[in-house]
Amino acid sequence: MSVREGSLEAPTRHPVAWKTPDFWNELLLEAELERIFDICHGCRRCVSLCNAFPTLFDLIDESSTGEIDGVAKSDYAKVVDQCYLCDVCYLTKCPYVPPHPWNLDFPHVMLRAKAIQFKKGSPTEFRDGVLSSTDRNGKLATIPVVVEIVNKVNHMPAFRKQLENHLGVDAQAWVPEFARKPFLPNAKVSAPHPVIDGGRTKGKVAVYSTCYINYNEPGIGHDLLKVLDHNKIPYQVVQKVACCGMPKLELGDLDAVEELKNKNIPPLAALARDGWTIVTPIPSCTLMFKQELPLLFPEDQDVQAVKQAMRDPFEYLVNRQKDGLLKTDYSVELGKVSYHVACHLRVQNVGQKTREMLASVPGTQVHTVERCSGHAGTWGVKKEFHQTSLKIGRPAFRQLTEHPGGSPDWIASDCQLAGRHIEEGLGDKAKDKIAHPLTLMARAYGL
């Protein structure tokens, strides 16, 4: 068979065969890691994407043979630990992804290694379990009085040092505040607008709010509802749902991912079958339903139904605009917006819909930055990775300040966690400038 380099054909993502015994076989995993690491060594395109590739190439270059056979198998985990499953290497760089016969899926081999590591247990498992239980943390922290205490101590250097020493959460890293009033119980009920379907869009929207919007920044959720209401799109906020499972996936805890899937998918599939478009305001959660769960549970028809109904909010809004069903009665110019495209949105392959939407607001100049922010969910707050996460984010931080029109009025990322990481990286330069694109849309409408 001839081996042709290039990605002219659309990549085919194969399901993750995690229910088979081979998936969990460590010798088979080691052989697969050796195979793909050797291909990457000969290619090296991804060297600037994250710290996984430089770690791999340093191990090879410093080995006795200068080849992958000189690297101890026990060092492979050092590469795996640096991967936060952003998927960017697979979807934007790699010419050897399927259908190429080399069948290279770097992130999914990292996921397999993480899953095997997770099953075996690790010294950081308690910390990792706490950080990835976003739903449970939110429920605890938003109990009245507790929320005040949690927010206060999170700003106390002595407490943060203790947290770093005992839990491994970097004392300098930004950690989210908890909202006094979570989103779900306070979301406004939709007005009884008529359902108007367009050629590209369904006329009613179900909002899967996400843990972060529910417990940390509910204002973004309220802004989404305002934008929908202003455009006379009837909506409902899905109430009985849990975390999407992305933080557990990043840990390799696939059983927890399945548990969460079993909670979320039945109500979401019922909505999908009833003709609702489902949107989530955090790209990682959207990606979980669009890509990761369908690949983990390829036979589950409910999962596939949710995948078909799931949209990024700006993907929906731009298509609504193309249907001629979105208002353009903007009353506020946004000025200079530096816009960061989150990795988990880039890999959804929907184009730059947020940029398109913001740029359609009169008096708005959008400067787009596609570099990784380095935050990567819970990865960037861990003590052992925090400095690396800032280093990875540095080119993005710098480029976001370089709006061609001068100092930006706003810095916006589809992923608000990335936005807050950018805020940490830029310090005073980002003061009062970080705003989610949905908040900017609500502002542009004067809502």
Q: How far is CA 317 from the centre of its chain?
A: 20
Q: Please pick, from the candidates 16, 29, 80, 86, the single residue that binds ligand SF4 as defined by CB under 6 A.
A: 86
**How would you label 331-360 residue by residue, b for 16+ Cβ within 10 Å and e otherwise?**
ebebebbbbbbbbbbbbbebebbbbbbbeb
Nearer to ligand SF4, 96 or 316 (CB): 96
**Measured from the CB of residue 355, what is the shortest distance to ligand SF4 in angstroms?**
22
Nearer to ligand SF4, 5 or 299 (CB): 5
Choices 5-13, 44-52, 255-263, 332-340; region in contact with ligand SF4 by CB under 6 A = 44-52
* Maximum Cα–Cα distance across the chain: 70
DSSP 121: -
Nearer to ligand SF4, 47 or 191 (CB): 47
Residues 6+ apart with CB under 8 A from 369: 338, 339, 340, 341, 396, 399, 400
Q: And the tokens for 315?
A: 């993907």
**Measured from the CB of residue 85, what is the shortest distance to ligand SF4 in angstroms?**
5
Side-by-side strand order, sheet with 410-413: 364-369, 335-340, 410-413
**Measured from the CB of residue 88, what is the shortest distance to ligand SF4 in angstroms?**
4
276 — alpha (psi -120 to 50), left (phi > 0) or beta? beta
Q: Identity (one letter) of the amino acid at 25? A: N
**Measured from the CB of residue 1, what is the shortest distance to ligand SF4 in angstroms?**
18
- Does 170 help bind ligand SF4 (rule: CB under 6 A)? no
DSSP 310: E
Q: Which of residues 425-444 bind ligand SF4 (CB under 6 A)?
A: none
Q: Which of residues 89-108 bind ligand SF4 (CB under 6 A)?
A: 89, 93-94, 96, 104, 106-107
Q: Going along 186-334, which residue ranges are E strands? A: 205-207, 235-237, 277-279, 310-311
**Measured from the CB of residue 419, what is the shortest distance to ligand SF4 in angstroms?**
19
Choices 85-93, 251-259, 292-300, 304-312; region in contact with ligand SF4 by CB under 6 A = 85-93
Nearer to ligand SF4, 56 or 357 (CB): 56
* 87: nearest Cα among 278, 340, 268, 345: 345
Do residues 170 and 382 lie in contact, with contact meaning Cβ atoms separated by under 8 Å?
yes
Q: Please pick, from the candidates 18, 84, 289, 385, the single residue that binds ligand SF4 as defined by CB under 6 A.
A: 84
Q: Which of residues 54-83 bind ligand SF4 (CB under 6 A)?
A: 83
- Does 50 help bind ligand SF4 (rule: CB under 6 A)? yes
- Does 113 help bind ligand SF4 (rule: CB under 6 A)? no
**Measured from the CB of residue 45, what is the shortest distance to ligand SF4 in angstroms?**
4
Q: Please pick, from the candidates 29, 33, 49, 306, the single residue that binds ligand SF4 as defined by CB under 6 A.
A: 49
SS3 content of the chain, % helix, strand, coil (to 5): 55, 5, 40
- Does 85 help bind ligand SF4 (rule: CB under 6 A)? yes
**Measured from the CB of residue 62, what is the shortest distance to ligand SF4 in angstroms?**
18
**Measured from the CB of residue 310, what is the shortest distance to ligand SF4 in angstroms?**
21
Q: And the tokens for 148?
A: 């005040």
Nearer to ligand SF4, 49 or 60 (CB): 49
Nearer to ligand SF4, 96 or 235 (CB): 96
- Does 268 help bind ligand SF4 (rule: CB under 6 A)? no
- Does 52 help bind ligand SF4 (rule: CB under 6 A)? yes
Rounded Cα gap, residues 87 and 268, in angstroms: 25
Nearer to ligand SF4, 18 or 53 (CB): 53
Angle between helices 26-43 and 52-61 (to 10 degrees): 90
Do residues 320 and 441 lie in contact, with contact meaning Cβ atoms separated by under 8 Å?
no
- Does 88 help bind ligand SF4 (rule: CB under 6 A)? yes
Rounded Cα gap, residues 114 and 80, in angstroms: 7
Q: Please pick, from the candidates 44, 119, 166, 181, the single residue that binds ligand SF4 as defined by CB under 6 A.
A: 44
**Measured from the CB of residue 349, what is the shortest distance to ligand SF4 in angstroms?**
15
385 — alpha (psi -120 to 50), left (phi > 0) or beta? alpha
SS3 state of residue 383: coil
Please report, to the nearest 10 degrees, the dihedral formed by the alpha carbons of residues 278, 282, 283, 287 taken in order.
Answer: -50
Do residues 178 and 142 lie in contact, with contact meaning Cβ atoms separated by under 8 Å?
yes
Nearer to ligand SF4, 223 or 250 (CB): 250
Nearer to ligand SF4, 377 or 408 (CB): 377
Q: Which of residues 4-43 bind ligand SF4 (CB under 6 A)?
A: 39-40, 43
Q: Which residues bind ligand SF4 (CB under 6 A)?
A: 39-40, 43-46, 49-50, 52-53, 83-89, 93-94, 96, 104, 106-107, 110
